[in-house]
Amino acid sequence: MPLWLVVELTYKCPLKCPWCSNPVDFDRYRNELSTEEWIDVLREGRRLGSLQLGFTGGEPMLRKDLEVLVGEADRLGYYTNLITSGVGLSPERLRALKTAGLKQIQLSLQACDQELNEKLVGLDVFRHKIDIARTIKAEGFPMVMNVPVSRFNIDQTEAFIDLAADLGVEYLEFANLQYYNWALINRAELIPTREQLARAEAQVNAARERLGKKLTIFYVVPDYYDNRPKACMNGWGAIHLTIAPDGTALPCQEARLIKGIDFPNVRDHGLDFIWRKSQAFNAFRGDAWMKEPCRSCSEKERDFGGCRCQAFLLTGDAANTDPVCTKSPHRHLIDDLIAKVRPRTVDPETPLIMREAGRRSKRTEVG
C-alpha cells in the first residue's frame, strides 16, 4: 500500500536552486489542483492505507489553502510533514499550521553563511531561515534540517552540525544530490570530489560520537560513489505515491522524466485504480521486466535493480540495471563521470544554471 503520500501542491517557488528536483519545464504545469481536489486526494489516500503525508512543492507555503489541507489531513489521521524552504513561513502562519494539526517540519538550509546561501538560491534569505528555524523549535515542532549537499557546501559539514545542535533540531539530513532535472543540468559543477565526501563522512561520524542522542544525523553515500544501487523508494510502486501539482500520479517525484510511460491523473482516475491497476504503476513491479544481470541477481529482491529514473537518464532504457551497480554493463558511464570530477573554487568555471521559468540547457556532461 502507498504508506508514504507526497503532495506537491505547487511548482512555484521564490528560490532558484540549481539542483531543484522539479521538472526543468516546471512552468508548463500551471493547472494546479483546487482545494477540493486535493481534499479528495487526501481522502482517497487514507482509504488506500496512506499514513505519512508530506506537503511539498515547489514551495508549499505559496498555497493559501495550506492550513485548510493540513487540517483535513489531521482529521483524516495522517502524520503530516511540511517540507519547506522557510520562505513565506511566518510566526503567524506557523502557529496557524500548528493549530490545524501539523506534526513535523523539514526545513532546507543550503549554506552556513549569508553570502554562499544567496549565491546558491538566488535570494538573500539566510537570516530569515535561521530566525524561522528558531521559531519552529520555540513552537515545539519536531524538525529536520535538510542540507542538499553539493561541491559548494560540503566543506561546511562541521558548521552545519554545530548549527543544528545550536538550533536544537532533532534530525539533520545531509541529502547528497540526486542528478535529475536541474541537478543533472548542473552536475559538472555540483558533484563533490571523493576526497570531499571522505572528509565529510569522517566529520559526521565524529559528531555522532560526540553528540550521541542529542542529534540524529543522516548521511548516505551518494549514488555515483557507491558500488551497489539503493532500493529506490523501496521499489517502484511499493510504498510511495506522489501527486504532482497538476494531478499527475507518480511512483516517485522524478518519474515523469521517463519517456514512454503514460502516467495517470487523479482528475481522470481514482487513486485505487491508479495504484493497483494502472500501467504506469505496474511497469516495474515484480521482476518480470528485469534484464540481466538483475534477473538472476541474488540482490534483486533487496535493491530492485536500483533507480529506474537513473537507468533511463544514463542508458536510455528504464529497464536496464542502474549503472551505479558494478554488475551493470553500463557502470563505465559512472566511472567516466567520476574520473572527470576535479576540485573547483567557489566561483564555478561554468556558471550555474539557476532554476527559472523558461530557462533550459542541454549541458549534462561533467566538464
Residue 306 backbone class (left: φ over 0; alpha: ψ -120 to 50; beta: rest): left
With beta carbons less than 8 A apart as the criterion, state whether 290 and 305 touch. Answer: yes
Rounded to whole angstroms, how far apart are CA atoms 255 and 245?
14
The answer to whether 294 is annotated as binding is no
Rounded to whole angstroms, how far apart are CA atoms 128 and 118?
12
Strands 240-243 vs 216-219: parallel, antiparallel or unpaired: unpaired
Strands 240-243 vs 249-250: parallel, antiparallel or unpaired: antiparallel
Query: Which H or E run includes 83?
Result: strand 79-84
The answer to whether 232 is annotated as binding is no
DSSP H stretches of helix in the chain: 35-48, 66-76, 91-100, 114-121, 126-138, 157-167, 181-185, 187-190, 194-211, 271-277, 279-282, 300-303, 308-315, 331-339
Angle CA(162)–CA(168)–CA(171) in degrees, nearest 5? 80
The maximal CA–CA distance of the chain, rounded, in angstroms, is 56
Residues 6+ apart with CB under 8 A from 347: none
The answer to whether 252 is annotated as binding is no
Query: How far, in Å, are 150, 221, 223, 340 from residue 177 at the CA level?
Result: 7, 10, 9, 18
Which residues fall in the annotated binding site?
13, 17, 20
List, as residue ranges, the binding site for [4Fe-4S] cluster. Answer: 13, 17, 20
